[in-house]
Structure 1
Amino acid sequence: MTAELITDARNATGESPVWHPQENALYWVDIPAGRLHRWQPDGQTHHWAADEMLGCIVRRQQGHWLGAMESGIFHLTAQADGRLVADKRTSVEHARPGMRFNDGRCDRQGRFWAGTMQTNMGAEPVGALYRYDATADATVKPMQARLDRLIVPNGMAFSPDGKTLYVSDSHPSVQLIWAFDYDIDSGTPHNRRIFVDMNQHPGRPDGAAVDAEGCYWICAIDAGQVLRFTPEGKLDRALPLPVKKPTMCAFGGPQLDTLFVTSIRPQGIDLSDQPLAGGVFALNPGVKGLPEPIAGG
């Protein structure tokens, strides 16, 4: 199966692809540039720049977005002049200086989950997962009691019924994916267990998505692949990419049967063997995905 380059974005760290069905468009971010990008199937691309690094995004109603950035959760509005207006909804107190939000997505009820990490990829387990529920008290709640000692939280995804939460830690010293039972009424995870030990597979676990059959797709960063695992944690499929560092995948297209993948363009190294690094790719995975929930509030 051949991956199609849809745009040679040359993102330093492309992440958080989200399909927007009403616009027939794919959105994603370039984290260090603080940019929100949009691609449409006719080849048109646009981007908007914020004043902080932008870790991940989720959709809101009426064309707006929520973004987890460096200092908290923001309501984002793209302006015609290329600015991304960021209105802070809630702050977060990081465990260390030099931290930011990284991977995130909504649960099936519209609660926004996002994890924090040290920007320099330090090995201290000071990252945490936070839950933001705009329909409740509009505050960000750390879930460290159940999701503690994380270094680079990643790979967040929810099963089709919303009752299983998946989380990975992509740091080289960890490389695990966990599954949790998830209480859809209270929005709390419990019964943490290892779902996949990525030390037994190529690459480190980065961003992820769940398809309509309940299987978990994870970007294997450094291995240039996207891997599909069954709900039992069995490797079912491996799709190759022309870049070494895929970062996150998302289902999109009018039928939700395209798997879009963002990637990293490493700085200061020879890229002659992967000139498309930092691009965004499309794959035909042979299964359909699920619509991404809209953030509540």
Structure 2
Amino acid sequence: MNAELILDARNATGESPVWSVAEQALYWVDIPAKRLHRWHLVDNHSQSWEAPQMLACIARSSDGNWIGGMQSGVFALSPQADGSLSTELLSSVPHAQSDMRFNDGRCDRQGRFWAGTMHLDMAAGRVVGAMYRYNAGQKEPLTPQLTGLIVPNGLAFSPDGLTMYLSDSHPSVQKIWAFDYDIDTATPYNRRLFVDMTAHLGRPDGAAVDADGCYWICGNDAGLIHRFTPQGTLDRSLAVPVKKPAMCAFGGPNLDTLFVTSIRPGGDLSDQPLAGGVFALNPGVKGLAEPVFKADC
């Protein structure tokens, strides 16, 4: 199960990969570079668009464009021919402190957009992160749904949408939780420990759920992507040739390819020259099409 490099992207922080079934293309972001990227499977062509703020997480929208979490709120996004990313603020975010941004995010199975916030200085370990939910047509500022987080990450939903997964990547936490999820009210409840990642290699980063309901999460700092069963048992681990895989997503014509974005840290990279690249793995299972944000609800 060797990892194939599909693009030597050299992303500072490659995150939020989303497979477009209609385009047969992979989209993702480079957060500090403020860029949205696309790689097209058929012709191996890639291109990117520049956003006005750090863009951390994206989801396809039912209106044909995108929705995303940036520094000041949730925005509607539209790639332009000149390489820019047109943005429209949908709802602002009342950050607990200055110097914060969104981090991991995606839609639930019903098409509502969820995303978490963090302080830009991760090393400071400030417990000011929160999870927010944006519903179509919402005009008022976002309201925190879950608080007490440092680096919210690993957001994913079970195939039936009744379980929500969430992690905290900070070295002092390294936990993954499962919640029961009320699909009518979009409310997570009954939080419990799913996996204590201090017992495994790598900090918990971005995640995906496969068609069997198993949870895949990037083991940041360990160069691994772990698969956990719905009971929280480690099933397998796949390696990538970089230390910091950031997030994974299922894609390809049959949704049986696991795409992985990564981080390119500063310093000597002689032992991982492909850091910041985008990789493809054969995980041996199929995934699910990523939910689309329902803009017309």
Which category describes the TM-score, using the shorter chain as reference length?
Answer: over 0.9
Give CA deviations for 1:152-174 in whole Å, capped at 9, x if unaligned: 00000000000000000000000
Structure 2 segments unaligned to the other structure (5+ residues): none
Give CA deviations for 1:145-194 in whole Å, capped at 9, x if unaligned: xx221000000000000000000000000000000000000000000000
Give CA deviations for 1:207-250 in whole Å, capped at 9, x if unaligned: 00000000000000000000000000000000000000000000
The answer to whether the Cα contact below 8 Å between 1:251 and 1:290 also exists between their aligned partners in 2 is yes
Query: 1:255 matched to which residue of 2?
Result: 254
Report the 3-state secondary structure (helix = DSSP H, G, I; strand = E; otherwise coil) of the residue aligned with 1:199.
helix
The answer to whether the Cα contact below 8 Å between 1:257 and 1:289 also exists between their aligned partners in 2 is yes
TM-score (norm 1): 0.97
Query: 2:19 matched to which residue of 1?
Result: 19
Q: Which segments of structure 1 move beyond 2 Å, counting only runs of 4 or more?
A: 135-141
Give the 5 Å matches for 1:152-231.
152-231=151-230
Report the 3-state secondary structure (helix = DSSP H, G, I; strand = E; otherwise coil) of the residue aligned with 2:198.
helix
Identity %: 69
1:142, distance to aligned residue in structure 2 (A): 1.4
Give the paired residue count. Answer: 293
1:63, distance to aligned residue in structure 2 (A): 3.0
Query: 2:287 matched to which residue of 1?
Result: 289
Structure 1 segments unaligned to the other structure (5+ residues): none
Aligned counterpart for 2:134 among listed residues 105, 109, 132 = 132
Query: 2:97 matched to which residue of 1?
Result: 96
Query: 1:31 matched to which residue of 2?
Result: 31
Query: 2:114 matched to which residue of 1?
Result: 113
2: CA distance, partners of 1:21 / 1:119: 33
The answer to whether the Cα contact below 8 Å between 1:249 and 1:261 also exists between their aligned partners in 2 is yes
Q: CA RMSD, aligned part only?
A: 1.0
2: CA distance, partners of 1:179 / 1:218: 13
2: CA distance, partners of 1:208 / 1:81: 32
The answer to whether the Cα contact below 8 Å between 1:177 and 1:195 also exists between their aligned partners in 2 is yes
The answer to whether the Cα contact below 8 Å between 1:208 and 1:250 also exists between their aligned partners in 2 is yes
Structure 1 position 65 matched with structure 2 position 66: yes
Structure 1 position 278 matched with structure 2 position 279: no
Output the amino acid matched with 1:96.
Answer: Q
2: CA distance, partners of 1:137 / 1:259: 36
Output the amino acid matched with 1:277.
Answer: A
The answer to whether the Cα contact below 8 Å between 1:260 and 1:282 also exists between their aligned partners in 2 is yes
TM-score (norm 2): 0.97
Report the 3-state secondary structure (helix = DSSP H, G, I; strand = E; otherwise coil) of the residue aligned with 1:179.
strand
Give CA deviations for 1:105-126 in whole Å, capped at 9, x if unaligned: 1000000000000011021111
1: CA distance, partners of 2:207 / 2:53: 24
Give CA deviations for 1:246-294 in whole Å, capped at 9, x if unaligned: 0000000111000000000002x11010000000000000000011111
The answer to whether the Cα contact below 8 Å between 2:221 and 2:243 also exists between their aligned partners in 1 is yes
The answer to whether the Cα contact below 8 Å between 2:246 and 2:260 also exists between their aligned partners in 1 is yes
